[in-house]
Structure 1
Amino acid sequence: MNPCEMSELPNVTANNFSGKCNDSYGGNFTHVLDDWKQEQFGGYPVVYPITIYHLYPVIVFGRILHILWYVIGFVGNFISLKIWSLTRMKRLNSSALYLVGITIYDIWYQILHIFFYLKYFWGLPSLGVAGLCQIWMVLNVVPQYANQLLVLGFTIERFISIIVPFKGERFSKRQRAPAVITSITVFVFFLAAPQAYFWRVDSSGFCEMKSGEKILSFYTIWSFATESIIFFVIPVVTLLLNVFVIKEAYNSLNRRENLDMKAQSSSRIHTKGKNYKPATKTLLCISFFRILTNLPVSITYTMQNLEAFSFGRLMPLEEMSSDHQWRNFILYWGARVIIEVIGASHHALSIFIFYASTKQFRNEIGYIFTEVKRFISRSSVRHGRSSATPSDLRYSTSIYMYKVTANHDMHT
């Protein structure tokens, strides 16, 4: 789910405020809303001061947990990228290139998310430059869309390989993966491009959505259509395909083991069948984890269209807790922020999925740690030798001086 959605006001349009605001506002709604934002919130994005004032523990929770995701994510994703890029890993796992793509997009997302974090968790105008605002909005959704499609891509490849194994061998050639990944990247850029049209830098230096009934209507339709497909339809299809694939893989192995075949044929088929298991297990774990973290975010995002969770009438911050409509919104918003912060974990924790589900990945992690230990040991020994040399020299010198003094005393 596009995290910048969290910055927007649910149902903030002229129609939503009709009946809640003075009718004299009329067509001057945008000007009135901007004045209200400036007067009450100092020009900050409206949701940030509301969250600070009414949900401060929630914003602190987000500040801390996002830092944790950045630390784990940058370290874990770069290690994962190094491992899946190895030639031997590509030979052992036909989906390695897809996993390289997913890891790159996770790193991409986390780098861009820092701008969002500074803006909506610390109130800093980190995207307040015309051009940068629009470019960020496009680049921010690309890795989110691409990751979903990449998981679907190698799931389809695995599905074809196990359902139609002989044709699947031709379909799953490693030369095909770069073309598929490139096609997905081009497609998601096309899908994300309209985001540049919806956003602008306001007078306070913050990247905000443009106002206007037509723009908001277009955005609502476009966003609902694209994100329903990306974050609802595709994960469900991926999950169903993975469940079917792993079921067929185990059934196929059981049938083959019960057949009385020739030794050579049995060995060849059994070996091939076993190769399905690690890759399929990894795909299934990734799919489950991403669905479990994305689906609640998608549901809470959709709930913003309900009237019960829309903005109340314009009023100062301190009065909102006494208004029924604002109380509903504040409760909804607090739950949504918590869910979105936890949901961002799937861009940081993939390394643990890879480690738990893939033996070859665990072996590579062990090899990396062994090399790190050797490097530390060599550095310690080298440092020990260099630090011991002056001490040894001083000790030898003192022994020599002692002998000279003793000989001198004997002669005298």
Structure 2
Amino acid sequence: IQLYSEFAPERIWVDRLVTPFMYAIGFPGNIISLMVWIQKRMRHSSGCYLAALALDDLIFLCLHIVYEVQTVWGINVLNVQFVCQAYPVVYMAVQYLSPLLVLGFTVERYISICHPFKREKFCTTKRAKIVIVFLTILAFSMSCIQGYFYTLLQIGDSTECGPRFVVRDGGTRSIFNVWNICIEMCVFLVIPLSVLTLNIMVIRELRRLSQVETQ
């Protein structure tokens, strides 16, 4: 925050002004969505994914408040042992989980549309819950190393929460950079492309079915 205050103060002010609007939309929207999808009549397999996604986004917004308080407002809330290590694990896990849940939901929709005879076997509420638990474990397994990366650092007279010096050795080729780039490429590039591909296949199948019906 000191660097931004000195070289790009406008970025801090823009962040302070824009972020509350994101919260004003995100919190009510996700709370309403969660309340809708946890209703008994909405507890089908797709509803499980959408409820989990709403809850995940809600947790992310709560954690993002902590991030904003620490990095934008300069209030040291993470400079506590264990909190410094645990926060990035959970914060990154909820970010990884969101596209994974979208992928799970998309795969289910693909099976329902493109392979309707397999729907009763694979698109069940019980199986959806199992997949959600598996994806949650997968997300945390990818982020748990952040608990090692981050620690309390003694910088001058102050203590700050940040990546260990040893994991940043090598600059752009450091284990910290390489790991995060590889994981984020998989989660935020490969998975969205997979979702896009499956959606295209679903659209093509729906068009084909529509043409068959018109004939």
TM-score normalised over the length of structure 1: 0.49
Identity of aligned residues (%): 34
SS at match of 1:206: strand
Unaligned stretches of 5+ residues in structure 1: 1-47, 259-412
Give the alignment of 1:375-394 within 5 angstroms: none
For 2:111, the equivalent position in structure 1 comes to: 160
Where do 1:126-205 residues align within 5 Å? 126-203=77-154, 204-205=158-159
Q: Which amino acid aligns with 1:238?
A: V
| Secondary structure, counterpart of 1:130 in structure 2 | coil
Match of 1:86 among 33, 39, 42: 39
> Residue 205 of structure 1 aligns to a residue in which SS?
strand
Counterpart among 169, 176, 181 of residue 224 in structure 1: 181
Shift of 1:214: 6.8
Alignment of 1:50 with 2:50, yes or no, is no
Secondary structure of residue in 1 paired with 2:174: helix
Does 2:188 align with 1:235? no
Q: Residues 30-63 of structure 1, C-alpha deviation per residue, up to 9 Å, x if partnerless?
A: xxxxxxxxxxxxxxxxxx1221122222211111
Q: Residues 188 and 65 from structure 1, CA distance in 2 versus in 1: closer, same or farther, beyond 3 angstroms? A: same
Q: How many residues align?
A: 209
Bigger RCO of structures 1 and 2 (CA < 8 A, at least 6 apart): 1
1:64-87 residue CA offsets vs partner (Å, 9 max, x unmatched): 111111222111111110011112
C-alpha distance in structure 2 between counterparts of 1:251 and 1:85, whole Å: 34
| Shift in Å, 1:206 | 2.1
Amino acid at match of 2:5: I
Give yes or no for contact 1:137–1:195 (8 Å, CA) kept in 2: yes
The secondary structure found in structure 2 opposite 1:125 is: coil
Query: 2:64 & 2:152 partners in 1: Cα distance?
Result: 18
2:106 and 2:132 map into 1 onto residues whose CA distance is 13
What's the counterpart of residue 244 of structure 1?
A: 201
Task: String of CA shifts for 1:355-395, please: whole Å, max 9, x gaps.
Answer: xxxxxxxxxxxxxxxxxxxxxxxxxxxxxxxxxxxxxxxxx
Query: Within 1, Cα distance between the matches of 2:28 and 2:112?
Result: 33
2:32 and 2:147 map into 1 onto residues whose CA distance is: 33
Partner Cα separation in structure 2 for residue 71 and residue 192 of structure 1: 28
2:164 is equivalent to residue 210 of structure 1? yes
Q: Where do residues 287-302 of structure 1 align in structure 2 (5 Å cutoff)?
A: none
Shift of 1:225: 1.4
Distance in 1 of aligned mates of 2:104 and 2:30: 20
Superposed, which structure 2 residues align to 1:94-133 within 5 Å? 94-133=45-84
Aligned to 1:202, the other structure's residue is in SS state: strand
- Write the distance in 2 (CA, Å) between the matches of 1:133 and 1:88: 41
Deviations 1:177-213 (A, max 9, x none): 1000000011111111100111111232321111132
Change in CA separation of 1:89 and 1:257 when aligned onto 2, cut-off 3 Å: farther
- Taking a change above 3 Å as real, the CA distance of residues 236 and 118 of structure 1, as seen in their structure-2 partners, is same
For the pair shown, the structure with the greater C-alpha radius of gyration is: 1
1:315-334 map, 5 Å: none
**In 1, distance between residues paired with 2:30 and 2:159?**
33
Gaps of 5+ in 2: none
Q: Is the 8 A contact 1:125 1:205 kept in 2?
A: no
